[in-house]
Amino acid sequence: MMARFFLWLGWSRFHRVPPPAKRACRVYNVVWLDPFSQAEWPISVTVAFYPNGRPCEVFAQLEKSSSTLDAALIASARMMSHLLQRGVKVRDLAHIVGEYGSPVDVLPKALLFAEGRL
């Protein structure tokens, strides 16, 4: 399904580079402040790396499980992992996601921090 989507976009050069079976990982524990209710949501973000040091996967999970927020965060992390494995740069992901006040905003920031750019 994703391959058809990338071919439809004309991105045939974006072939998936699967991550190695054993890879270095870093875990970042961040707190997202809900702008509406002012509630604090602890989020655990794990970034996995290729042997050359480039991020290849992102995993995220709310420590206080809320079905809607947790599902959005996990789905966004999965989408970012797919894009990273197809060669999209972290800076481009951060630009695409932007800052909209959602818990998904912490994912590109954790990637930029993992690369040493933040």
Q: pLDDT (tens digit, 9 = 90+) per residue, 50-99?
A: 998 889 999 998 887 776 888 888 888 998 898 888 888 888 888 877 66
Q: What are the φ/ψ torsions at residue 87 (nearest 5 degrees)?
A: 95, 5
The structure's pTM equals 0.77
Q: Which residues pair with 42 in a beta bridge?
A: 31
Q: Which residues pair with 98 in a beta bridge?
A: none
Q: Is the pLDDT of residue 34 over 90?
A: no
Give the residue with greater pLDDT, 37 vs 117: 37
Three-class secondary structure of residue 77 per DSSP? helix
